[in-house]
A and B are shown apart, each in its own frame.
Chain A
Amino acid sequence: MSRLSYAEIDRTVLDTLTPPRRAYWLTVAVLFCGILIGATCWGYQILVGIGVGGQNHPVAWGTYLINFVFWVGIAHSGTLISAILYLFRAGWRNPIARAAETMTVFAVCTAGLFPLIHLGRVWLVYYMLPYPNQRNLWPNFQSPLVFDLIAISTYLTVSSLFWYTGLIPDIARARDNATGTRKKIYKILSLGWTGELEQWRHYSRGYLFFAALATPLVISVHSVVSWDFALSVVPGWHSTIFAPYFVAGAIHSGLAMVITLMIPLRAIFNYKRIITDDVLENVAKTIIFTGLIVGFAYATEYFIAWYSHNPVEIESFRWRALGDYTVEFWIMVICNTLIPLLFFIKKIRRSVPWLFGISILVNVGMWFERFVIIAGGPAHGFIPHSWGLYSPSMVEFGIMLGTFSLFFFLFFLFVKHLPSVSMTEMKELVHEGENSHD
C-alpha cells in the first residue's frame, strides 16, 4: 500500500459523506420500488394464504428457506473479515472490514425476514419466543428450528453491537468534521467519544473480546442452520458433513459478495488507494481456498453415498446430478468449484472485470447450491410415489426481488451517511507500517 497520511485517509473517507448527487437518489428510489414490489407480494400472500407460493407436498421449503440460508451465508464472511482475520492480525482486512461488517448486519436483517414470510400467519411469530403463558406451553428447545431462532437473534445482536462499537471513533471523526444537523446527529451517535487513552484502553480490549466471541458464534450459526436439515432423516440432508460444509459455503459466498460490493464502492468513492488491488487479490486467494473446501465437500457427499451402499442415498445423489434439477446442480458445481480456480492465475485475480464477473458467478452458484440442497432433498425422498418437483411462483420471485432490493437499499443508505471505511483501522495500519520501518 502506498503511504497514506492520516489526513489523506480522513479526507478520502469523509468526502463520501458529502451530499449525494441525483444519480444516487435515483438508484435509491429504484431500489425502494423493488422493496415495494416485495412488500406488495408479501401483503398479497398474507391476505390470500401461503398457498400463493410454489411450496407444496413434498417440497415444503422453497425460496423462502433458500434465500434465508443464502443471506445468512453472505453475512458470514463479514464476520470472518472483521473478527477472524482481526484475531489473525491480517492487516489487509482493515480497508474492507467496515463494509464487510455492514454487509453482515444488513444480510442478517434480510435473512431474518424469511422465516417471518414463510410463517404465513406472521402475527403468530411470538409463539417461537419463550414467554410465560397460562397454557404452560414452551418452545421445544430440542428442535433445531428453535436453536436457529436463538442463534440468528444472537448473531444479529452481536454483529450489530460489534459494528456500532467499531463505528464510534469514526463517527466522532465525522462529528468533528461536520456542521449543522449532521454534527448534532453524529454527536449523539458518537456517545461523546474524545479518544482519551483511558477510552482507548477499554475500547481495544472490548474490541478484542468482541472478535473472540464473534468467531465461535459465526461457526455455530451456520452449523445450527445446517442442522435444520441434517437433523431430519431426508436423504441428501441427513449428513454429518453439513455443519463444516455449510460454514465453508457461507464464507465462500460471502467473500464473493464482498468483491461484488467493494469493486463499485472503490470506483464510485475513489477508494483505490485504500481498497487496493492487493486487498482484492487477497480476497480472491481466500475464495480459492473456500472453493476447494466446498468442492471437497461435494465430492465427499458423493463418496459417502457410494460407500454407504444405501440405495436411497445412491439414488438421491444420482438424481441430483442427472435428474430434474441437473441444470441447477451443474451451475452449482461449475460456479462454486471450477470457476474460482481461475483465481490461480495471477492476471485474473488482479483484473477488476474478471474479479467482478467471477464474484457474481460464485454468488449465483451458491444460490443454486441452496436450491439443490433444500428443494432437491424432499423432492426425491424415500418413497417414489411421493416424489415431486418444486418451482417458485411469481409471488416468491416478487418477494425475492424485494429482499435483494432491501439489502442494497440499506447498503446504499449506509455508504452516504456513515464512514464506509474504518478511518481508525486504516490509521492503525499506517501507524504499524511506520513503526515497522523505524
Chain B
Amino acid sequence: MIRRHVMGIFNDEDRTIDAIKALKESAFPIKKVHSPIPSHKLMDAMGVRKSLLGYFTLMGGIAGFFIGFFLAMYTSVQWNLIVSGKPIVALVPFFIVGFECTILFGVLGNVIGLLTLSRLPRYKNLQQYDERLSGNHFGIVAECEEGQQENLTRFFEEKGAETKRVYIY
C-alpha cells in the first residue's frame, strides 16, 4: 500500500510540542521531526533516547592509546640505542605518545560514529525538506494511509501549522 507523508511546519516550538503530543495519541505515526536547534524540550516530547555515539569515541580512544604506545615501543626495540641513559622501552615518554594518540583516535572514532549514526552524508533527504526548517521553523512529518492525507493535513491546521506539505515515498 502506498503511504503518504505530510509535513506540518510550525513557527513556534510550543505548538510543535503540542502537535507531537496529540499525534502520539492519534493514528498517525510520527516519522521525523525537524528543528533549527537541538531543543531538549522537543527531544523530551519525542522521548529521544541518549545517543550511543560515546561507544565509538571510547573504542577510538582505547585503540589510539595502544596504537601510540605500541608504535613507540615497537620502533624502539628495532634498534636498541640508549638515549640519555633512559631505558629502551621508556614508559613515561611513550605514555605521552599514547596520550596524544588517545585523543586523535578518540576524535576520529567520534567523527566516524557521528557520520554513521546520523547517516551523513545523505543528500536524498533534501527532497523531503523545507528550506525554512534550518531558520526559525519546526517541522513534523507524519505518516498516513492513502486517502487519509486530508485528515492529517486538517489535523496539522488545527494544531496551528503554518504550512503543510505532502510527500509520497
Q: Could you list which residues of chain A lie within 8 angstroms of chain B, going by C-beta atoms?
A: 5-7, 10, 130, 136-143, 146-147, 150-151, 154, 157-158, 161-162, 165, 168-169, 172-173, 175-177, 187, 191-206, 209-210, 213-214, 216-217, 220, 224, 424, 427-428, 431, 435
Q: Which residues of A contact B121 (CB under 8 A)?
A: 191-192
A197–B35 alpha-carbon span in the complex (Å): 7
Cβ-based interface call for B166 (8 A): no
Establish whether residues B104 and A157, one from each chain, have CB atoms under 8 Å apart when the complex forms.
Answer: yes
Q: Which residues of A contact B106 (CB under 8 A)?
A: 209, 213
Establish whether residues B111 and A165, one from each chain, have CB atoms under 8 Å apart when the complex forms.
Answer: yes
Q: Choose one: B33, B71, B75, B135; the contact of A173 (CB below 8 Å).
A: B135
Q: Which residues of A contact B131 (CB under 8 A)?
A: 176-177
Establish whether residues B84 and A142, one from each chain, have CB atoms under 8 Å apart when the complex forms.
Answer: yes
- Point out which of A7, A146, A177, A206 has the most chain B C-beta atoms below 10 A from its C-beta: A206
Q: Which residues of A contact B120 (CB under 8 A)?
A: 168, 191-193, 199
- The contact sample of 16 A-B pairs, CB cut-off 8 A, is A7-B136, A141-B97, A146-B97, A147-B97, A151-B100, A158-B103, A175-B134, A176-B131, A192-B120, A192-B121, A192-B124, A192-B126, A195-B34, A220-B99, A424-B36, A428-B37
Q: With contacts A7-B136, A196-B125 known, what are 8 further pairs, Cβ within 8 A?
A: A7-B135, A141-B75, A158-B103, A196-B32, A203-B118, A204-B38, A206-B111, A213-B103
Query: Closest B-chain residue to A14, C-beta based?
Result: B135
Q: Choose one: A157, A201, A431, A435; the contact of B51 (CB below 8 Å).
A: A201
Query: How many A-B contacts if CB must be within 8 Å?
Result: 186
CB distance from A185 to the nearest CB of B (A): 13
Cβ contacts B109-121/A at 8 Å (1 or 0 each): 0110111011011
Establish whether residues A140 and B71, one from each chain, have CB atoms under 8 Å apart when the complex forms.
Answer: no
Establish whether residues A210 and B83, one from each chain, have CB atoms under 8 Å apart when the complex forms.
Answer: no
Residues of B9-30 at the interface with A, using a CB-CB cut-off of 8 Å, are 13
Establish whether residues B97 and A205, one from each chain, have CB atoms under 8 Å apart when the complex forms.
Answer: no
Establish whether residues A141 and B32, one from each chain, have CB atoms under 8 Å apart when the complex forms.
Answer: no
Q: Which residues of B contact A140 (CB under 8 A)?
A: 83
CB distance from A205 to the nearest CB of B (A): 4
